[in-house]
């Protein structure tokens, strides 16, 4: 990934990734978590009459769920809470995807898409694709003794994995990544996102047509020929899923991997324990996701008058589901603000709940494990660079460290 110098974070001032980060509240090290503590103490669900009719609802009421129980209840009740509101914004640039579908339509399409994420394929990707790709990126800086792991590994490698899974030519990766970031930055620049969406459609159309006739060993071929109860995906449905796969499969994975590594690098005893005993990796990954999920919130809209944890929610109201707050609910986890890979494992909300549980969560976990194992094996004495100044996780919607400047022996 060709990253140009310039700006405070080492990238060009017009880099759409940095624009997106700033728009998502990534300017500075302010943490949303103290506010979540106060919100949970005041109640599981808060309501207001703020009008956001340009994006979500007809009633003008907005409710926010902060506790784990409230978040779980909303996300598992697909009849009372719809994902359809995503169609008003994200659907315009991505096309109609499972992001905005409710049951039973969502289940039908998800069943087809899951055929591209089998356990057998996952194991093959790990050894044949993800491992070699991660190591090839580490090769580029392993002899330097220092690196910014966000820019030089954790940011570019997940989208490179997605591109390889789709069977895209390696030379197309820089443009593919740029269009992906511009697409998910729809709230930053609407016109640019629409233009990027159209370019991606044009790019994918020829590939999908070719794979329908001549299947190859890639995910697009699986999607082009998958079938469930006699139903197959249309070209537009494939295009929509491929657009969705970019933020879902790359953006959040880079952030979750970066957050976990930051937690380990700032807790040296746990770093050492994991380095010495890799069987701890699954619980470390889950704790990283709980402690600092890559995405703090998602949204739903109420389809009928209902009630959540004692709060009445009217039909048509928008509901903001605070995943980050749910993951630090003190009634579920003791001392929830503490990063602790040894804590008792309990299901968290980082991958959501219910019908829309993240389709690519096993891929994300596998990629994180491969990346961390490679870093442990190849960079002895890995630690934060003491000369780099303060390093932190930032963001009020999407969370990740802007940089991870490290040194090793």
Cβ-contact 65, 321 below 8 angstroms: yes
Question: Does residue 106 form part of some domain?
Answer: no
| CATH number of the domain encompassing residue 20 | 1.10.630.10
Cβ-contact 99, 86 below 8 angstroms: yes
Question: Does residue 166 form part of some domain?
Answer: yes
Q: Exposed, middle or buried by CB within 10 Å (0-12, 13-18, 19+), for 133? A: buried
Task: Tell me the C-alpha distance between 249 and 254, whole Å.
Answer: 9
Cβ-contact 30, 4 below 8 angstroms: no
| Phi, then psi, of 242 in degrees rounded to 5 | -65, -40
Residue 170 tokens read as 């390696």
Q: Per the structure, how many domains does the chain have?
A: 1
Task: Tell me the C-alpha distance between 22 and 20, whole Å.
Answer: 5
Q: H helices within 67-155, ranges in order? A: 68-76, 90-94, 105-113, 119-125, 131-139, 149
For position 23, what pLDDT does the model report?
66
**Considering only CA atoms, which of 262, 284, 283, 271 is closest in space to residue 399?**
262
| Helix H or strand E encompassing 238 | helix 235-246
For position 115, what pLDDT does the model report?
82
Question: Does residue 101 form part of some domain?
Answer: no
Question: Does residue 296 form part of some domain?
Answer: yes
Question: Does residue 397 form part of some domain?
Answer: no
274 lies in which domain range? 16-90+111-380
Task: Tell me the C-alpha distance between 270 and 266, whole Å.
Answer: 9
Per DSSP, the residues of 185-235 read: TTTT-HHHHHHHHHHHHHHHHHHHHHHHHS--SSHHHHHHH-EETTEE--H
DSSP-derived pairing of the beta strands 45-48 and 62-65 = antiparallel
Question: Does residue 364 form part of some domain?
Answer: yes
For position 56, what pLDDT does the model report?
45
Question: Does residue 409 form part of some domain?
Answer: no
pLDDT in tens, the chain (409 residues): 333 323 333 344 466 667 667 766 676 778 999 999 999 999 999 997 544 444 444 457 999 999 999 999 999 999 999 999 888 878 888 889 888 888 988 888 888 888 878 878 888 899 999 999 999 999 999 999 999 999 999 988 998 898 888 888 888 888 888 888 788 778 778 999 999 999 999 999 999 999 999 999 899 998 898 888 788 889 999 999 888 887 677 788 999 999 999 999 999 999 999 999 999 999 999 999 999 999 999 999 999 999 999 999 999 999 999 999 999 999 999 999 999 999 999 999 999 998 888 888 899 999 999 999 999 999 999 999 999 999 999 998 889 999 999 999 9
Q: How many CA atoms lie within 13 A of 30 on its CB side?
A: 11
Task: Tell me the C-alpha distance between 153 and 147, whole Å.
Answer: 9
Question: Does residue 370 form part of some domain?
Answer: yes
């Amino acid at each position: 990934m060709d990253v140009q110098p310039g700006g405070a974070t080492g990238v060009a001032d017009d880099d759409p990734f940095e624009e997106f980060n700033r728009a998502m509240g990534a300017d500075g090290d302010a943490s949303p978590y103290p506010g979540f503590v106060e919100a949970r103490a005041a109640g599981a669900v808060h309501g207001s009459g703020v009008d956001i009719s340009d994006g979500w609802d007809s009633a003008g009421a907005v409710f926010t769920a902060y506790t784990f129980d409230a978040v779980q209840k909303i996300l598992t009740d697909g009849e009372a809470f719809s994902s359809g509101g995503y169609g008003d914004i994200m659907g315009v640039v991505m096309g109609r995807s499972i992001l905005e579908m409710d049951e039973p339509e969502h289940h039908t399409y998800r069943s087809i898409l899951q055929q591209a994420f089998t356990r057998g394929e996952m194991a093959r990707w790990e050894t044949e694709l993800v491992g070699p790709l991660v190591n090839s990126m580490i090769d580029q800086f392993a002899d330097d003794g220092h690196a910014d792991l966000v820019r030089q590994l954790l940011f570019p490698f997940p989208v490179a994995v997605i591109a390889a899974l789709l069977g895209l030519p390696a030379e197309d990766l820089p443009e593919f990544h740029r269009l992906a970031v511009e697409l998910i930055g729809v709230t930053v620049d609407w016109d640019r996102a629409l233009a990027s969406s159209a370019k991606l459609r044009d790019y994918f159309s020829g590939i999908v047509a070719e794979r329908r006739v001549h299947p190859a060993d890639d995910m697009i071929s699986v999607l082009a020929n998958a079938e469930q109860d006699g139903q197959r995906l249309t070209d537009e449905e494939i295009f929509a899923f491929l657009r969705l796969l970019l933020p879902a499969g790359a953006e959040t994975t880079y952030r979750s991997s970066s957050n976990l590594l930051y937690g380990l690098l700032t807790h040296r005893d746990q770093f050492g324990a994991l380095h010495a005993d890799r069987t701890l990796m699954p619980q470390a990954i889950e704790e990283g996701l709980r402690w600092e999920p890559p995405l703090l919130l998602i949204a739903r809209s109420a389809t009928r008058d209902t009630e959540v944890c004692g709060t009445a929610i009217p039909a048509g109201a928008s509901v903001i589901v605070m995943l980050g707050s749910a993951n630090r609910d003190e009634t579920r986890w003791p001392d929830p603000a503490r990063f602790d890979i040894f804590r008792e494992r309990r299901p968290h909300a980082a991958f959501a709940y219910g019908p829309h549980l993240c389709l690519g969560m096993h891929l994300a976990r596998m990629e994180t494990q491969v990346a961390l194992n490679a870093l442990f094996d190849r960079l002895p004495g890995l630690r934060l660079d003491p000369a780099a100044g303060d390093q932190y996780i930032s963001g009020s919607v999407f969370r990740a460290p802007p940089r991870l400047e490290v040194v090793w022996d």
